[in-house]
């Protein structure tokens, strides 16, 4: 692989895989006792990070009484005793869980897809086409990275209530309590633009020249040359949009009141207020975590690389 | 990938310079058109709200009100500085950050060093340490709310070691600590990965040279690893500090700021006033205070690290 192309986000691809053999170099293998101690430490840490999640999943299959009975022993982490899916049926019986799930899927998928298109186009215009003032525009975009969303949330809430919206039923005022208020404000993202910009800059510009000789326009170059070469950047942006969107809590908590429009994370909060069955809450928690865990295990490398690449901005 | 390599080879013969595009007027039009959607969205949902944060803080705007907002000068700030909850929230927010920043960054570095070795199964360890990061903070808060119950899992485990655990979230003395521990647990894997990517940028021959000089493990860490992580360190300090200042989800789910405001934070207070009590103007003033805090830390951090650049 050529060096130019591997700069940018893909440059960290090896993070997930290999490690610098920092210690076992030059034949100074660690003392066996030290080795065993190190292994033990790693295993204990595994328990610290893994067991609470095991506990969550295991408890979701037990009746509440048994959960508390098992707390005092290792049974707390084992699917023993009265195992059933009663808690899961209980969740569906109490709240429109399928609807919450559907809402979260729609909100997340639409934001990820539109985010990739909108932000990559903007980055393409800034990085590869260029125009007078492009540098200033990029500067403004980067400067906004310092503003946390939490600063803007309340003014944005007020502002969303003032905005008009042209929908199928004509023009309405106020975006609160809608799908669009959960999607549209999060499509354009300064950090996504920055990631695409950085990646596009590493793709040789000569490709554009060659395509232009063949009569391709800028949009064609974007769609048929640059985007197909930008897989790693697209994956990074997709993951870094997916995680916060799926996990969104503060914004929908305020912007959405109607039950039918609620996403899963606000739904669990509401569910807990209706309910004191910990088994059912753990069942709900397991169901909204499972999709992310499945995706994480399937695309582990990409997940870890995108987190690592969020560190290159410093 | 072969396409790129071919193009690279071809380009090796030509000069790598950026020529101004031909027909640059139409190029500019295309560029502006492609930038347009993002520009409109960023202006509407980022730049205008930034402006509004400043503007609304000086008005009596209410979230839903038939009357237009009126300019009231610095009334919101006068009220804010006399508000006892504000000072408590500010204090909690800063305490949270001051404790969690060193705790989390140091432990994450420890984890990164532990998994930055050639060893069978190291990928498994890395994955497990990372699992809480892909679990939503809402889910983690629910789970720990359950584990922190007075007769919950954590106290039962402590009992095995003969320790009678406190009522973690119910006692004003331990509530913030409980939230700190849980938050560090959730985010540690995230910073482990960032430390790891920093560790991988340190050239292996530096370690070889240190080996030749007979450096022990500590010396290698002190004189090779630590200086090599300078950029990563700055980044990690800034990100942990800013996300610590933004503390909200955990508190809202687990304690709602209680008991006795002992876990109230700036963002929680802003949501209370701006959303539940609908006082957008006052909430904007709180948001502005929060932003000033973030800005101050970022600038301070930049200043401190720049200083070190000069010294080295």
Burial class (CB in 10 A: 0-12, 13-18, 19+), A143: exposed
Residue B50's closest CA among A3, A152, A18, A112?
A152
Nearest CA of chain B to the CA of A54: how many Å? 11
A59 contacts in chain B (CB < 8 Å): 146
In tens, the pLDDT along A63-91 reads: 998 998 888 888 889 888 888 999 999 99
Confidence of residue A138 (pLDDT cuts 50, 70, 90): very high
CA distance B130 to A133: 41
The residues with which B59 forms a beta bridge, in sequence order, are B71
Under the banding of pLDDT at 50, 70 and 90, the label for residue A301 is confident
Q: Which of residues 269-298 of A touch B (CB under 8 A)?
A: 269, 272, 278, 281-282, 285, 288-289, 292-293, 296
Chain A residues close to B294, C-beta within 8 Å: 146-148, 151
Query: Measuring CA to CA, which residue among A121, A105, A104 is closest to residue A237?
Result: A121
Q: B123 to each of A9, A292, B114, B130, how far by Cα in Å?
A: 21, 19, 11, 11
Q: Has residue B81 got a pLDDT over 80?
A: yes
Contact A22 B38 (CB under 8 A): no
What is the average per-residue pLDDT within A298-312?
82
Cα–Cα–Cα angle for A37, A39, A41, nearest 5°? 70
Flag whether residue A216 sits within 8 Å of chain B, measured between CB atoms.
no
Give me the interface pTM, i.e. the ipTM: 0.86
Dihedral class, residue A165 (left if φ above 0, else alpha if ψ from -120 to 50, else beta): beta
Q: B4-52: per-residue pLDDT in tens? A: 433 344 344 333 334 444 447 788 899 999 999 999 999 999 999 999 9
Quick: pLDDT tens for A8-27. 333 343 444 444 444 444 44
Q: Which DSSP symbol is given to B19?
A: P
Record: contact B48-A159, CB cut-off 8 A: yes
Q: Do A137 and B160 touch (CB under 8 A)?
A: no
Residue A314 distance to chain B (closest CA, Å): 5
List the domains of chain A with CATH numbers: 28-84 (no CATH), 95-157+186-309 (1.10.3720.10)
Chain B CB contacts of A1 below 8 Å: 1, 5
User: Could you tell me the sign of the dihedral formed by the alpha carbons of A89, A95, A96, A97, in that order?
Assistant: negative
Measured between CB atoms, does B133 come within 8 Å of chain A? yes
Work out the pLDDT band at A97, boundaries 50, 70, 90. Answer: very high
Q: Report the share of chain A in percent with pLDDT over 90.
A: 60
B200 contacts A72? CB cut-off 8 A: no
Q: Does A185 touch chain B (CB under 8 A)?
A: yes
Residues 6+ away with beta carbon under 8 Å from A279 = A59, A60, A61, A62, A63, A64, A67, A86, A87, A90
B206/A contact by beta carbon, under 8 A? no
Is some CB atom of chain B closer than 8 A to the CB atom of A40?
no
Q: Do B47 and A209 touch (CB under 8 A)?
A: no
B43 in reach of chain A (CB within 8 A): no
What secondary structure, in 3-state letters, does chain A show? CCHHHHCHHHHHHHHHCCCCCCCCCCCCCCCHHHHHHHHHHHHHHHHHHHHHHHHHHHHCCCCHHHHHHHCCCHHHHCCCCCCCCHHHHHHHHHCCHHHHHHHHHHHHHHHHHHHHHHHHHHHHHHHHHCCCCHHHHHHHHHHHHHCCHHHHHHHHHHHHHHCEEEECCEEEECCCCCCHHHHHHHCCCHHHHHHHHHHHHCCCCHHHHHHHHCCCCHHHHHHHHHHHHCHHHHHHHHHHHHHHHHCCCHHHHHHCCCHHHCCHHHHHHHHHHHCCCHHHHHHHHHHHHHHHHHHHHHCHHHHHHHHHHCCCCC
What is the residue extent of each domain of chain B? 83-311
| Inter-chain CB proximity B52 and A156 less than 8 Å | yes
Is B57 strand, coil or helix?
coil
Q: Is A55 on the interface with B (CB under 8 A)?
A: yes
Cβ contacts of A83 within 8 Å, gap of 6 or more: A61, A62
Q: Structure pTM? A: 0.86
Q: Helix B137-147 and helix B153-160: axis angle, to 10°?
A: 50
CB A236 within 8 A of CB A302: yes
Angle at A214 between CA A212 and CA A220, to 5 degrees: 60
* CATH class of this structure's domain B83-311: mainly alpha
Give chain B positions within 8 Å (CB) of A132.
Answer: 28
| A170-173 and A164-167 strand pairing | antiparallel
Whether the CB of A172 is below 8 Å from some CB of chain B: the reply is no
Share of chain A above pLDDT 70, in %: 89
Give the mutation candidate from B15, B26, B38 for the A interface (greatest A CB count, under 10 A). B38
What one-character DSSP code corresponds to residue B120?
A: T
pLDDT tens digit sequence for A191-235? 999 999 999 999 998 998 899 898 888 999 999 999 999 999 999
- How is residue B54 written in tokens? 């400043």
Give me the residues of B, 141-170, that contact A with CB < 8 A.
142-144, 146-147, 151-153, 156, 159-160
């Amino acid at each position: 692989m050529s060096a130019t192309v591997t700069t940018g986000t893909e440059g960290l691809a090896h993070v997930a895989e290999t490690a610098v053999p920092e210690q076992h170099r030059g034949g100074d293998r660690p003392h066996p006792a030290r080795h065993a101690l190190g292994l033990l430490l790693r295993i204990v840490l595994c328990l610290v990070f893994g067991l609470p999640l095991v506990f969550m999943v295991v408890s979701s299959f037990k009746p509440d009484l048994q959960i508390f009975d098992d707390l005092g022993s290792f049974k707390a982490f084992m699917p023993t005793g009265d195992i059933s899916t009663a808690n899961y049926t209980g969740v569906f019986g109490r709240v429109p869980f399928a609807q919450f799930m559907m809402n979260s899927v729609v909100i997340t998928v639409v934001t990820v897809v539109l985010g990739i298109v909108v932000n990559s186009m903007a980055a393409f215009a800034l990085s590869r086409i260029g125009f007078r003032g492009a540098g200033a525009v990029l500067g403004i975009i980067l400067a906004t990275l310092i503003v946390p969303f939490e600063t803007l949330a309340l003014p944005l809430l007020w502002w969303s209530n003032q905005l008009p919206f042209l929908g199928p039923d004509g023009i309405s005022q106020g975006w609160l309590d809608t799908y669009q208020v959960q999607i549209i404000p999060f499509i354009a993202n300064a950090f996504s633009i920055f990631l695409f910009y950085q990646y596009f800059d590493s793709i040789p510009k000569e490709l554009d020249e060659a395509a232009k000789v063949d009569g391709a326009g800028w949009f064609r170059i974007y769609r048929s040359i640059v985007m197909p070469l930008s897989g790693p950047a697209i994956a990074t942006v997709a993951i870094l949009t997916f995680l916060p969107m799926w996990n969104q809590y503060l914004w929908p908590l305020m912007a959405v009141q109607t039950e039918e429009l609620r996403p899963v994370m606000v739904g669990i909060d509401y569910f807990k207020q209706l309910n004191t069955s910990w088994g059912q809450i753990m069942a709900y928690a397991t169901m909204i975590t499972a999709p992310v865990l499945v995706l994480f295990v399937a695309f582990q490398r990409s997940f870890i690389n995108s987190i690592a690449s969020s560190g290159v901005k410093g | 990938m072969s396409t790129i390599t071919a193009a690279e080879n071809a380009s090796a013969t030509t000069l790598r310079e950026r020529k101004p595009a031909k027909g640059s007027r139409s190029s500019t039009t295309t560029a502006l058109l492609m930038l347009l959607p993002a520009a409109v969205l960023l202006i509407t949902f980022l730049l205008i709200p930034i402006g509004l944060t400043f503007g609304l803080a000086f008005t009596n705007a209410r979230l839903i009100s038939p009357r237009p907002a009126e300019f009231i000068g610095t009334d919101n700030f006068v009220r804010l500085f006399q508000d006892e909850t504000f000072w408590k929230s500010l204090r909690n927010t800063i305490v949270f950050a001051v404790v969690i920043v060193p705790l989390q960054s140091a432990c994450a570095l420890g984890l990164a060093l532990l998994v930055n070795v050639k060893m069978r199964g190291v990928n498994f360890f890395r994955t497990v340490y990372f699992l809480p990061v892909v679990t939503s903070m809402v889910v983690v808060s629910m789970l720990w709310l359950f584990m922190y119950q007075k007769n919950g899992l954590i106290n039962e485990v402590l009992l095995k070691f003969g320790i009678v655990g406190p009522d973690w979230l119910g006692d004003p003395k331990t509530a913030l600590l409980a939230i700190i521990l849980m938050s560090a647990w959730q985010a540690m894997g995230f910073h482990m990965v960032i430390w790891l990517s920093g560790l991988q940028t340190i050239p292996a021959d530096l370690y070889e040279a240190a080996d030749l000089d007979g450096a022990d493990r500590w010396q290698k860490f002190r004189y090779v690893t630590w200086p090599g992580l300078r950029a990563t360190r700055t980044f990690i300090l800034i990100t942990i500090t800013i996300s610590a200042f933004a503390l909200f989800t955990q508190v809202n789910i687990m304690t709602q700021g209680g008991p006795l405001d002992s876990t109230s934070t700036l963002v929680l207070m802003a949501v209370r006033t701006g959303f539940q009590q609908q006082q957008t103007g006052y909430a904007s003033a709180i948001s502005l205070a929060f932003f000033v805090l973030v800005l101050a830390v970022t600038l301070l951090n930049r200043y401190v690290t720049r200083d070190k650049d000069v010294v080295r």
